[in-house]
Structure 1
Amino acid sequence: MKWIEIPRHYLSKTSEIRLVELPEKSFCLVWNEDQWVAFSKKCPHAGASLENGWCEGKEVVCPYHRHRFNLIDGRGAIGQGNYIQIYPLKEVDDILYVGLKENIWSRIFG
């Protein structure tokens, strides 16, 4: 796992979903129920940007067809048959990091 620092300007503790764009990866980030959650930037159903969605409890709601996804495990609501990626986060010395899986080539030549 490769840990990438999330720049501080993305870390406003509001319920607004932010699109984080890093050289390594783009993803959504939200402060939800007193913790940070990082997840896929697009809904797997029709590709809508989840940045324009909203949170209801422990779920993010897609703005296009209202598909719902659990912010703990990424599973879609019953009957949807889809999911979003939830990225691991860790905080060290007041710096927030997102964990990204390294591909095989990065591990060999990195």
Structure 2
Amino acid sequence: MKWIEIPHDYLSQKSAIQLIELSGKSFCLLWKEDKWIAFSKKCPHAGANLAHGWCEGNEVVCPYHRHRFNLIDGRGAAGQGNYIQIYPLKEVDGVLYVGLKENMWSRVFG
């Protein structure tokens, strides 16, 4: 896993789901209930950008076909049979980092 610093500029925007692109990786970032949540940028159903979706309770709702995903474990609503990735976050000395999996080639040649 590679830990990537999330620039402070992103952390000042707490009003909507943000699409973040760092070090060739993309994910969504959301401020909810006094904490940050990082998750997949694409809906696994039809590939919609979840940054254009919205939250209802503890779920993110896809803007295309209204698929719902739990923001704690990433599971889709009953009957969907899909899920999104929830990425780990950690704070060190006031700096927020997201943990993203590296592909095999990055681990070998990086």
Instruction: Tell me the TM-score normalized by structure 2.
Output: 0.91
Post-superposition Cα deviations, 1:6-50, rounded to whole Å, max 9, x if no partner, equal 111111352400000112301100001111001111111111111
Report matched runs for 1:1-110 at 5 Å. Answer: 1-12=1-12, 14-110=14-110
Alpha-carbon spacing, 1:67–1:82, altered in 2? closer, same or farther (3 Å)? same
Runs of 4+ in 1 over 2 A off after TM superposition: 12-15, 102-110
Give the aligned residue type for 1:24: G
Instruction: Tell me the TM-score normalized by structure 1.
Output: 0.91
- In the alignment of these two chains, the number of paired residues is 110
3-state SS of 2:45 partner: coil
Post-superposition Cα deviations, 1:51-91, rounded to whole Å, max 9, x if no partner, equal 11111121101111111000111110000011111111101
Give the aligned residue type for 2:58: K
3-state SS of 1:96 partner: strand
Aligned-partner Cα distance in 2 for 1:47–1:104: 23
- Long gaps (5+) in structure 1: none
- Long gaps (5+) in structure 2: none
Aligned-partner Cα distance in 2 for 1:103–1:65: 30
Give the aligned residue type for 2:86: I
Cα RMSD, aligned residues only: 1.3
% identical aligned pairs: 80
Aligned-partner Cα distance in 1 for 2:78–2:15: 25
